[in-house]
Amino acid sequence: MANKLSTVFTSYAPDAFRLLHGCFCIYKPAGMAMTFLRDVIVGNLVRDLNAMDVRPRGSLVKIEKQRSDSNALIVTTLPDFADDPLVIGPRYIKEDFKVAFTEGMHRQAAGVCVSGVGDGCQQARRVRDAKHVKVYEITGQLGTATENFSHLGRIVEKSTYSHVSLQKLERVISAIQAAHLKASYNYLGVNMQSQEAYKLAISGMIRPTEDRQTVIYALKCIHFSPPQFTIEVQCINETLPYLSKLIHEIGLELKSTAMMTQARKTQHGHFRIEHALLRKHWTIQDILQNIQHIRPLVTKDKNTHAKNRRTLDEEKQITITATGEDL
């Protein structure tokens, strides 16, 4: 980043806990459920905070008479064992933390996962509502079909793939991308060859309003070594079963079969894979540093403000109004 950010480091637990508010970005490994992911992050925060310099044990002030026949008072200070961590437990527990994710990721998917902690949970919800475009690298394997379109499913068919070339694969994914683009314009009731379609294209990306409405903006083959191939997918409102089925359909269009073997999310809007913390860096100091590092990506994102987002339904209303139809 262009601006230099100061390093966040503190050894005093209350100061670190007070700074623990904002969005941070982690790299989710494949095979890890979101509930377990949250438990690991919260567990690491609890462990690291309790290992730091915590609030000292309180004192018990005792006021007594010096002698029974005198009114003089003696003030003594004693350790308050009722405030000792060995008696009441650790200073920080899991219930002290609130962690939220911008979206759920399938157990078998890996990659960028934007999260919020403390007050950052509201920021995470705004990032979710902004409907950023996600970029996936999907790896498929030709010659095999399974019942759930992934390598974890039961094999139902085997086929040849020696006739498949890179040129044929690129033609197929180009046709699929064009079909998705045409479907988005058909939803708006706009002819792709019209002036209205041109105005929509130059005005910026249009995002769907419904979470179940998947839109693919771009497809590109980035690796081809039969039977393995990898395509880069830019999409919104995707699910892993949907991407698995996409690989299956590509195999059918190539007069063969294919299954998905790996799915990795490399980008979520402005959040890229270089911003994500690996599991060995899920520590309090690294998370605090990451919160500061990606804060400009959250605060300067115009799409996190509802008035700046353009959706398919809004564009559909604008298009219908322009054509003189009754709403």
For residue range 160-180, list pLDDT tens digits in order: 999 999 999 999 999 999 888
The pLDDT score that the predictor gives to residue 69 is 67
> Which amino acid is residue 313, in one-letter code?
D
Given pLDDT bands bounded at 50, 70 and 90, which one contains residue 204? low
For residue range 43-57, list pLDDT tens digits in order: 999 999 999 988 877
Q: What's the DSSP call for residue 207?
A: B
CB atoms within 10 A of CB 117: 23
Q: Say if residue 311's pLDDT is above 70.
A: no
- Span 188-212, average pLDDT: 70
**Bridge partners of residue 265, in order along the sequence:** 111, 136
Distance CA 110, CA 134 (A): 13
Q: Say if residue 85's pLDDT is above 70.
A: yes
- Span 281-310, average pLDDT: 81
Q: Say if residue 191's pLDDT is above 60.
A: yes
The pLDDT score that the predictor gives to residue 131 is 86
Distance CA 57, CA 227 (A): 64
Q: Say if residue 152's pLDDT is above 80.
A: yes
- Span 21-49, average pLDDT: 96
Mean pLDDT (the chain, rounded): 85
3-state SS class at 163: coil
CB atoms within 10 A of CB 255: 12
What is the DSSP secondary-structure string of 85-139?
HHHH--S--GGG--EEESS---TT-EEEEEEEETTHHHHHHHHHHTT--EEEEEE
Kindly report which listed range (28-32, 182-186, 200-204, 281-285) carries the lowest average pLDDT score: 200-204
Residue predicted with more confidence, 194 or 327: 194
Q: Tokens for 52?
A: 């730091």
Strand pairing category for 258-268 and 110-117 = parallel
Q: The pTM is what?
A: 0.81
The pLDDT score that the predictor gives to residue 309 is 53
Distance CA 183, CA 72 (A): 91
- Span 10-14, average pLDDT: 87
| 8 A C-beta contact, residue 113 and residue 37 | yes
Q: Tokens for 140?
A: 């498929």
Given pLDDT bands bounded at 50, 70 and 90, which one contains residue 182? confident
The pLDDT score that the predictor gives to residue 298 is 87
Given pLDDT bands bounded at 50, 70 and 90, which one contains residue 116? very high
